Amino acid sequence: MSVGMKSVTDRLRDSGLLRTQGLIGGKWIDAYDGKTLEVHNPATGEVIANVSCMGGKETKDAISSAFDAFNSWSKLTAAERSKGLRKWYDLLMAHKEELGQLITLEQGKPLKEAVGEVDYGAKFIEFYAEEAKRVYGEIIPATLPDRRLFVLKQPVGVAGAITPWNFPLAMITRKVGPALACGCTVVVKPSEFTPLTALAAAELALQAGIPPGVVNVVMGNAPDIGDALLTSPQVRKITFTGSTAVGKKLMAGAAGTVKKVSLELGGNAPCIVFDDADLNVAVNGALAAKFRNSGQTCVCANRVLVQEGIYEKFADAFSKAVKNLKVGDGFGEGVVQGPLINKAALEKVETFVEDAVSKGAKVLLGGRRHSLGMTFYEPTVLSNVKSEMLVSREEVFGPVAPLLCFKTEEEAIHMANDTNAGLAAYIFTNNLQRTWRVSEALEYGLVGVNEGLISTEVAPFGGVKQSGLGREGSKYGMDEFLEKEGACSTAFELYFEDGLE
């Protein structure tokens, strides 16, 4: 183990945040058969820790704990639940540096970006601590004079939350925050690549006084854990962020017990630069939209569509800006591009670039593995990219920006919408009418206008078409964990006036 990594892990261990067991009913537990799995630092390949490798049996017990805890947690007042969440938020913020280091260690993103994720992720807990108090029902004008109709919002029950590796903290908090605020309890299954941040966050939830069994964490054999969650009638909700393929499996699996499902799946984000855009704004916006987390987010710009009048100027300025991005270990000074998560991710990027080049794309910058080795890939800009190339059709999930040229607004909208995905889109223009026209014509759940960073806990995040179902963040994120219960009652005064009793 390198000296740098040893000192980081030692400090994390001293702070009690380097947890390696699953959390079931408030207890840290090994896999029942003692199995473990290795968690690696993608920048060095070193093993950071061995964590419990759990499966169906442990998941069933985690579900039982969550089910028992639901009885009491859902009956607390909203103010009581809010206090627990607020305390959890305070602890996440108090341990911002350690959590950031943990994210960089297991996920690879630069430390500054990792600490930024802690800020962003923790805000979901803060926001939902506040929102917990605003689960209003409704009174409906009755259809008979002596009746009163009202709508009560009730927590759905136990939720299974399955999360990916690209935001080891934020993908969890944006699910667990609203779930707990509504009165649900959760079984979280983080990615096997990045379970350590999830376990540290769960430790802080316990320290915040969130009762045992309200938050459970299991990791290990994903299909077995998934099956246990899907088949259990006690689990009433599946909330998932990850690949479209796995999302479809989960949706089909949830049908067996008719669970509520929310899915945040892959995107194929277009980033459209019109002739009338401010060049600097477009370059900086596209840079942020494409290269954060080394291109490994589902809202990362996947295709940069540039109008012919500004194409050459943009390609030149953008390539210059990309050239300045420093690649390296996320703990390194000034590094803004970390490694890719694993070899499969690296090979996917290579395949996509080879496919594009073989079909006539030009490499303006990069286009190969980085000399640092491991899973580092050079920040890459491709020009002369066409719609039929893999880089245009599917998510590359890496630091590759393909530039496509278009002539008219109609053509840009057609190219942008010509995909099954519909998560994020970006447009750069100084024309106000065009802003509205194009934003509304884009079949996407999120549209950034002259802006490359669009995620915030206060606005709804989610996709249309095959990018998913449901929304996370904002007041709408609460709806995913609530049932609307209609109730009809006989109104008391009229009841007495009728002289029935």
Give residue 480's identity as a one-letter amino acid code.
E
194: Cβ contacts below 8 Å, ≥ 6 apart: 39, 103, 106, 107, 165, 168
Strands (E), 41-190: 47-52, 138-140, 147-155, 158-162, 185-189
Q: How far is the CB of 462 from ligand ADP (least distance, A)?
A: 16
For the question of residue 405 being annotated catalytic, the response is: no
Choice from 42, 100, 155, 226 touching ligand ADP (CB under 6 A): 226
Among 82, 163, 216, 307, binds ligand ADP (CB under 6 A): 163
Given 164, 178, 183, 367, the residue binding ligand ADP (CB under 6 A) = 164
The backbone region for 297, taken as left when phi is positive above 0, alpha when psi lies in -120 to 50, beta otherwise, is: beta
Q: Are 500 and 171 in contact (CB under 8 A)?
A: no
Residue 284 binds to ligand ADP (criterion: CB under 6 A): no
DSSP code per residue over 192-206:
TTSHHHHHHHHHHHH
Q: Which of 154, 207, 243, 417 binds ligand ADP (CB under 6 A)?
A: 243
Residue of 125, 246, 263, 349 interacting with ligand ADP (CB under 6 A): 246
The CB-nearest residue to ligand ADP is 226
**Smaller CB separation from ligand ADP, 192 or 443:** 192
Give the residue with the Cβ less far from ligand ADP, 127 or 165. Answer: 165
Tokens for 319, please give them.
């390539």
Q: Which residues contact 462 (CB under 8 A, 6 or more apart)?
A: 262, 264, 423, 445, 446, 468, 469, 470, 471, 472
- Tokens 């890719």 found at: 340
Looking at the Cβ atoms of 345 and 412, the one nearer to ligand ADP is: 345
Taking a C-beta distance cutoff of 8 angstroms, is the pair 309, 275 a contact?
yes
Q: Site map for ligand ADP, 329-368, x if CB under 6 A?
A: ----------------------------------------
* CA distances in angstroms from 48 to 8, 447, 501, listed in the order given: 10, 38, 72
The one among 40, 249, 362, 475 contacting ligand ADP by CB under 6 A: 249
For residue 47, give Cα distances in angstroms to 41, 106, 201.
6, 9, 21
By CB under 6 A, the residues from 82 to 141 that bind ligand ADP are none
Q: How many Cβ atoms are within 10 Å of 248's Cβ, its own excluded?
A: 13
Under the criterion CB under 6 A, does residue 222 sit at the interface with ligand ADP?
A: yes
Would you count residue 242 as binding ligand ADP (CB under 6 A)?
yes
**Residue 440 beta carbon to ligand ADP: minimum distance, rounded to whole angstroms:** 30
Residue pair 267/298 in contact (Cβ under 8 Å)? The answer is: yes
What's the half-sphere exposure (Cβ side, CA atoms, 13 Å) at 229? Answer: 35
- CB under 6 A: which stretch of 55-63, 243-251, 406-414, 460-468 binds ligand ADP? 243-251
383 near ligand ADP (CB under 6 A): no
Candidates 271, 298, 409, 480; catalytic one: 298
Catalytic residue of the set 203, 264, 409, 472 = 264
Please identify which residue in 223, 233, 256, 360 interacts with ligand ADP, judged by CB under 6 A: 223
* Residue 11 CB, nearest approach to ligand ADP (Å): 27
The reply to whether 257 sits near ligand ADP by the rule CB under 6 A is: no
Is 182 labeled as catalytic in the residue annotation? no
- The residue count for binding ligand ADP (CB under 6 A) is 14
Closest CA to 156 of 480, 475, 498: 480
Nearer to ligand ADP, 132 or 158 (CB): 158
Q: Which amino acid is at 296?
A: Q
**Options 132-140, 157-165, 416-424, 446-454: segment touching ligand ADP (CB under 6 A):** 157-165
Shortest Cβ distance from residue 238 to ligand ADP (Å)?
9
Part in contact with ligand ADP (CB under 6 A); list of ranges 106-114, 162-170, 179-187, 316-324? 162-170
CA atoms lying within 13 Å on the CB side of residue 353: 25
Instruction: Name the minimum Å distance from CB 241 to ligand ADP.
Output: 7
Largest CA distance in the chain: 89
For 271, phi and psi rounded to 5 degrees? -125, 105
Question: Is position 301 an interface residue for ligand ADP (rule: CB under 6 A)?
Answer: no
Round to whole Å and give the CA distance between 421 and 264.
11
x-or-dash string of contact with ligand ADP, 177-216, rule CB under 6 A: ------------x-xx------------------------
Q: Which is nearer to ligand ADP, 55 or 452 (CB)?
A: 55
Q: Identify the CA nearest to 113 among candidates 100, 123, 126.
A: 100
Tokens coding 415: 């190219």
Residue closer to ligand ADP, measured from CB, 165 or 406: 165
The residues annotated with a catalytic role in the active site are 264, 298
User: What does the binding site for ligand ADP look like in residue numbers (CB under 6 A)?
Assistant: 162-165, 189, 191-192, 222-223, 226, 242-243, 246, 249
